């Protein structure tokens, strides 16, 4: 059984994400199943980072994003490209860091408690496979260090596939 080391409150964000990346790499080592690895990444991040109310995957089916493994309340099942934060990240292939979701045009409110969001597009061999979506009930929860940290976690995830 894999034992997760709890992040020490004295760690800064960079150190916390380094620890998470190391743990994720160890957790996914030797496993190449997208669903299993997405489920474990969602659980690891949800239980290790503070002030999250949802994190998980939307997987691209060739037409739209479809809900994948996640942690948190029930979520929207399908999201069109160019719609909301996830659809924008998928269509532009650029990470979206949103300090206040209510100011994002077309934001999709799956959980009314969400106030800020970060979404990282998942690109493997030039192909969109989905997005990694993380929500917080706190305004401005995410910053550039979170962007870099989340992108690193997604790189570890993609390398496992």
The Cα–Cα gap between 16 and 9 comes to 9
Is 6 a domain residue? no
Q: Which two tokens stand for residue 126?
A: 């030039």
Q: Is residue 76 part of a domain?
A: yes
The answer to whether residue 136 is domain-embedded is yes
Is residue 35 domain-resident? yes
Q: Is residue 49 part of a domain?
A: yes
Sign of the CA dihedral with 49 first, then 14, 150, and 143 last? positive
Residues 97 and 146 sit within 8 Å (Cβ to Cβ): yes
Residue 83 belongs to a domain: yes
Phi then psi for 127, rounded to 5 degrees?
-110, 135
How far, CA to CA in Å, does 146 sit from each of 29, 36, 61, 100, 113? 23, 24, 27, 15, 20
Q: How many domains does the chain have?
A: 1
Q: Are 79 and 57 in contact (CB under 8 A)?
A: no
Structural domain of 82 = 13-160
10 Å CB burial of residue 125 (0-12, 13-18, 19+) is exposed
Identify whether the C-beta of residue 67 lies closer than 8 Å to the C-beta of residue 75: yes
pLDDT at 100 over 70: yes
Give the per-residue pLDDT at 2. 66
Please report, for the domain that includes residue 34, its CATH number: 3.30.450.40
pLDDT in tens, 24-71: 999 999 999 999 999 999 999 999 999 999 999 999 999 999 999 999
Tokens 């790499």 found at: 25
Residue with tokens 């719609």: 83
* Rg from Cα positions in the chain: 15
Tell me which residue has tokens 């260090």. 145
**Does 86 fall in a domain?**
yes
In a domain, 7, yes or no: no
Q: Kindly report, residue by residue over 101-149, the tens digit of the pLDDT.
A: 999 988 887 788 899 999 999 999 999 999 999 999 999 999 999 999 9
Q: What is the pTM of this model?
A: 0.95
């Amino acid at each position: 059984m894999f034992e997760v080391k709890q992040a020490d409150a004295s760690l800064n964000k960079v150190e916390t994400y380094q620890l998470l990346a190391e743990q994720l790499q160890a957790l996914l080592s030797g496993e190449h199943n997208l669903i299993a690895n997405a489920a474990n990444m969602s659980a690891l991040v949800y239980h290790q980072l503070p002030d999250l109310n949802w994190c998980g995957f939307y997987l691209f089916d060739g037409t739209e994003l479809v809900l994948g493994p996640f942690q948190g309340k029930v979520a929207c099942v399908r999201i069109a490209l160019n719609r909301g934060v996830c659809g924008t990240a998928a269509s532009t292939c650029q990470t979206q860091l949103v300090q206040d979701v209510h100011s994002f045009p077309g934001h999709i409110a799956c959980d009314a408690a969400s106030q800020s969001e970060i979404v990282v597009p998942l690109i493997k061999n030039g192909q969109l496979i989905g997005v990694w979506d993380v929500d917080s009930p706190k305004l401005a929860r995410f910053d550039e260090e979170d962007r870099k940290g989340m992108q690193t976690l997604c790189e570890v995830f993609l390398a496992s596939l």
